[in-house]
Amino acid sequence: MAGKMDVTDPDSVSRFVEWTLQEAGRVDILVNNAGVSGPAAPVADYTDADWRHVLATDLDGVFYCCKAVAPHMTQRGSGRIINIASISGKEGNPNMAAYSTAKAGVIGFTKAFGKELAMTGVLVNCVAPAVIDTELLTQLTEDAVDYMVSKIPMGRMGRPGELAALVAWLCSPECSFSTGAVFDLSGGRATY
């Protein structure tokens, strides 16, 4: 089963969820991982279009996807929603105000939505990774990546498999008493 949607378009998201329900019969897990970094630039140089693009993808997309699957999950009384935030949302990165703002919004949304669904059997959590060695880094300058890695006490980027393992646990039956939580995956960068 394969499909495609635009997370910035609520109608596209709704159509995709309906298609998934027709094809698979149910949605058990949602991992909101679509994202863009946007340009690495000072706020004064940031265009309105770049700002809106980052927030539309990284924050609005999480909202649209959660809103589309939650009724189906709550009706069944079970489900897992994992939102991928960022350590940038907790600590901010200079010259990445749009990305940091969007990811801070994902953290706040996760906390609120997790509490909202706490009695439904649907758990909502998020992961706040430091820099992970993925394609997203191709959107950034080498200086921006070097800055982020320099803030990690372990002195390296995270690996996609490390993030995947945490997400898998959050989706598992072993994770049964966490909702509205933020799980850091930062190589020691997180300070709170």
Q: Cβ contacts of residue 93 below 8 Å, gap of 6+?
A: 99, 100, 144, 147, 148
Instruction: In whole angstroms, give the CA distance from residue 38 to residue 59.
Output: 13
Residue 175 included in any domain: yes
Instruction: In whole angstroms, give the CA distance from residue 70 to residue 92.
Output: 29
Is the pLDDT confidence value at 2 over 80?
Answer: no
Q: How many domains does the chain contain in total?
A: 1
Share of the chain above pLDDT 70, in %: 99
Q: What local confidence, expressed as pLDDT, does residue 46 receive? A: 96
Q: Do residues 125 and 185 lie in contact, with contact meaning Cβ atoms separated by under 8 Å?
A: no
Which entry of 46, 64, 99, 147 is annotated as an active-site residue? 99
Summary mean pLDDT of the chain: 95
Residue 123 included in any domain: yes
Q: What is the CATH number for 173?
A: 3.40.50.720
132-160 average pLDDT score: 89
Is the pLDDT confidence value at 153 over 90?
Answer: yes
Q: Do residues 151 and 189 lie in contact, with contact meaning Cβ atoms separated by under 8 Å?
A: yes
Active site residue 99: yes
The pTM for the full model equals: 0.94
Domain span including residue 140? 10-185
Q: What local confidence, expressed as pLDDT, does residue 1 receive? A: 58
Residue 191 included in any domain: no
At residue 87, what is the residue type? I
Q: What local confidence, expressed as pLDDT, does residue 164 receive? A: 97
Is the pLDDT confidence value at 133 over 70?
Answer: yes
- How would DSSP label each residue in 28-97? -EEEE----------GGG--HHHHHHHHIIIIIHHHHHHHHHHHHHHHHT-EEEEEE--THHHH--TT-H
| Confidence tier at 7 by pLDDT (50, 70, 90) | very high
